[in-house]
Amino acid sequence: MRIALFITCYNDTLFPRTGQSVVRVLERLGHTVEFPLEQTCCGQMHFNTGYRREAYPLAKRFVETFADAEAVCIPSSSCVAMIREYYPALAHENKDAEMAAGVQRMLPRVFEFSELLVDRLGVTDVGAYFPHRVTYHASCHGLRSLHLGDKPLQLLRAVRGLELVPLENVEQCCGFGGTFAVKNADVSAAMLTEKTRAVLNTRAEVCTACDNSCLMHMQGMLHRQFAGVRTLHIAEVLAGAEDAPA
Amino acid sequence: MSPRAGQLVQLNPKTAPPFPEAAKADLRDTQLRRNVARATDTIQRKRGALVAEKTDWQALRDAGAAIRHEALANLDRYLLQFEESFQAAGGTVHWAANAAEANRIVLGILRERDAREVIKIKSMTTAEIGLNEFLEQHNVAAYETDLAELILQLGKDQPSHIVVPALHKNRQQVRDIFARTMGLPELSDDPEALTAAARQYLREKFLRVKTAICGANFLIAETGAVTIVESEGNGRMCLTLPETLIAVVGIEKVIPRFADLEVLLQTLPRSATGERMNPYNSIWSGVVPGDGPKDMHVVLLDNGRTRVLRDAIGRQTLQCIRCGACQNACPVYRQSGGHAYGSVYAGPIGAILTPQLEDMRHAQSLPFASSLCGACYEVCPVKINIPEVLVHLRSRVVDRGRRKLSSLFDQERAGMMMMAAIFANRRRYEAAQRLARTGQSTIHHGDAWYHWLPGMAGRWTETRDLAPLPQQTFREWWQQRGQQ
């Protein structure tokens, strides 16, 4: 299958290894990855912070860039949620019938990374090896908008050498919330403290998730505390192999 | 201890400090945080168990949302129908455009009956309009009879939750308030002793005071009934013993039919207190000789609600049946408690209701007091898409600001505009990525993490480190790979 990768702006700039890992996993499974270079940002940050007017052209740009893709893979639940939940509304409120039609055609072909693997490609064992104690953080958008359920866990359970330990209060937000983390920095920090406490309680070496945004937030505090826990996007865990450890 | 402890909390959205500022102070109150986390955990656990036993829970949520939507879409008709049926049953309906009018109407009714004191059932609506304070200024004593409201009244405190208003107090703190104000130095903090003290304190008032003020959970258009559900029985006392009963009710509380209670009285108690059914369910359909009050009034309060109805996205806020489930589920409320919201309506529902009732002129920090995690929407028994309304209200706040000259100097706005311009063009975006890395190389060496950043980003590094930008973006790697 030809799979178009929407890497997302922050993964592109801050977490290139996540994108490299997505490519590695999909190619290992025998698929062809395409990367349309015109892509930039889905508009989520602007939309969620109240800059709806600025989000619209970015959304339109996304729809145009990926109009012809057979499948779009996005290693970020929150960007997928933005597209699914708010692109139709953005097209509607800007009276953009062309975009609305484009969104409708595109939506069934847009997948978050773990969704693509489990739902579209029908695989849970991607041939990965990752000999570490790992806990999984369910990001809010993955949990409540995409209803990922145990799809990421199915993928992690099939990884050789991986010891999966449950995270208590897994449904509770880590406090990132995009610009919330700086606009309400104190409440955000209090939420993050609860989350990192839960992570530390698992005694895991690695905390993984389908969103680098939550992981960046959690890693920010864990690093400050010299906690000895690293965060890794699920694609990086699944890219691990005997001959090329993650 | 909180920096705000000992100060009188005023829940006035027009004068309250912005949410981040108020929350910062309350976050330091260790007792408050423990109380809020414990109480919300307990209610959530009970709610979760009872929701799980309903196999048709999602269908009940859909039905509840449909009932509330129908009521709001035809509010003009249902309110007139309610007025007609309630008056036909011997009651009187009053219409109040705003808080001041509602307060004057209530005072007028009391003056006509020469009432100098009233007993009250817990009512967020009367808290919204500041009725107790208004009556006090006009020499009418209002006695709260709900246990939590009594605690707040005696402790000169304010509600922090719409269902459990004194949720931020634990029983040791309640004991201290009762011991001090009731003159009971020997009182223990045993819940039975505390409720016995409250009962003793209130019983004499129930028997003496001839006028009661309440709110309503629902007004039924079809039958002209006022519905009140409660847990303690104090409400039943207030509804049955006095001669005059005045209900102050927001216009959005009307529902079309008696049969609608079939749905709402299943979802409300489960969502609110984690009970299958409320211990006391009172449905008053007007005046009945020899039973209950002889003189019944309903004051229908607008106070900004009609304006909220005009907003196609915002209007779903009025579907709310005040169960408080969103407050219990909210990870922000869990940390900050309710007072930081600066309104009697705290938590996610307050974050969308208060700014709209204030016509977006006050409480503008509230739509931003959420990480948009969606836990509120998930538990809402009438399916109010709170995250959708939050981001909509954020855009209303931002759009108002666009017209102001000062917005030119707003760091966030400038950053957002710049980012929008960068993302609009691939070449500009790639240049910005390179520029950021070049900029980093002038101040940063090696792979050390940032512990300090300037400006708004500095709020991040107060408690969190930030990794430096990697040496290569993904797209650079991809293009390099293609060339090999």
Provide the 3-class DSSP secondary structure of residue A135: strand
The answer to whether residue A158 sits within a structural domain is: yes
On whether any CB of chain A is under 8 Å from the CB of B258, the answer is no
ipTM of the complex: 0.97
A215, A220, A221, A226 alpha-carbon torsion, rounded to 10°: 110
A159 and A197 both lie in a single domain:
yes
| Of the residues A120, A155, A177, the one at which a domain ends | A120
Examine the pLDDT at B407 and tell me if it is beyond 80.
no
A199 and A150 both lie in a single domain:
yes
Output helix, strand, coil percentages for chain A, rounded to the nearest 5.
55, 15, 35
A234 and A195 both lie in a single domain:
yes
CATH 3.40.50.10420 in chain B: give the residue spans: 19-306
Element (H, E) at B143: strand B141-144
| Of the residues A91, A120, A149, the one at which a domain ends | A120
Tell me what the pLDDT averaged over chain B comes to: 95
Provide the 3-class DSSP secondary structure of residue B434: helix
Interface contact A191-B459, CB threshold 8 A? no
Residues B255-282, mean pLDDT to the nearest whole number: 97
What is residue B1's predicted lDDT score, i.e. its pLDDT? Answer: 42
A68 and A137 both lie in a single domain:
no
A110 and A153 both lie in a single domain:
no
Q: Are the C-beta atoms of residues B384 and B313 closer than 8 Å to each other?
A: no
For the record, the structure tokens of A215 come out as: 């992981």
- The shortest CB-CB distance from A20 to any of B395, B469, B477 is to B477
What is this structure's pTM?
0.96
Interface contact A178-B372, CB threshold 8 A? yes
Q: Which residue of A has its CA nearest to B395?
A: A50
Q: Is A176 exposed, middle or buried (0-12, 13-18, 19+ CB in 10 A)?
A: buried
Domain CATH code at residue A229: 3.40.50
> Tens-digit pLDDT profile for chain A (246 aa)?
999 999 999 999 999 999 999 999 999 999 999 999 999 999 999 999 999 999 999 999 999 999 999 999 999 999 999 999 999 999 999 999 999 999 999 999 999 999 999 999 999 999 999 999 999 999 999 999 999 999 999 999 999 999 999 999 999 999 999 999 999 999 999 999 999 999 999 999 999 999 999 999 999 999 999 999 999 999 999 999 988 777
Examine the pLDDT at B6 and tell me if it is beyond 70.
no
Residues B339-360, mean pLDDT to the nearest whole number: 97
- The shortest CB-CB distance from A185 to any of B398, B422, B459 is to B459
The answer to whether residue A126 sits within a structural domain is: no
A57 and A86 both lie in a single domain:
yes
Domain with A175, as residue range(s), is 133-239
A38 and A111 both lie in a single domain:
yes
Report how far apart the first and last C-alpha atoms of chain B are (Å, whole number). Answer: 63
Residue type, B29: D
For the record, the structure tokens of B333 come out as: 């409320």
Number of domains chain A is built from: 2
Provide the 3-class DSSP secondary structure of residue B17: coil
A19 and A67 both lie in a single domain:
yes
For the record, the structure tokens of A185 come out as: 């920095």
What are B228's strand-pairing partners? B282
The answer to whether residue A222 sits within a structural domain is: yes
- The shortest CB-CB distance from B420 to any of A54, A141, A191 is to A54
Examine the pLDDT at B66 and tell me if it is beyond 80.
yes
What's the DSSP call for residue B120? Answer: E
For the record, the structure tokens of A141 come out as: 């958008």
pLDDT band at B119 (very low <50, low <70, confident <90, very high): very high
Q: Which residue of A has its CA nearest to B449?
A: A223
Q: Which residues of A touch B475 (CB under 8 A)?
A: 7, 12, 35, 37
Residues B102-112, mean pLDDT to the nearest whole number: 98
Between chain A and chain B, the number of residue pairs with CB atoms below 8 A apart is: 194
| Of the residues A72, A97, A120, the one at which a domain ends | A120
A11 and A107 both lie in a single domain:
yes
Residues B366-393, mean pLDDT to the nearest whole number: 98
- The shortest CB-CB distance from A191 to any of B331, B369, B470 is to B331
A113 and A17 both lie in a single domain:
yes
Give B 25-54 residues with CB within 8 A of chain A. 27, 33
Domain B19-306 sits in which CATH superfamily? NagB/RpiA/CoA transferase-like (3.40.50.10420)
Give B 344-383 residues with CB within 8 A of chain A. 367-375, 377-378
A86 and A108 both lie in a single domain:
yes
Q: Are the C-beta atoms of residues B173 and B166 closer than 8 Å to each other?
A: no
- The shortest C-alpha distance from B99 to chain A (Å) reads 30
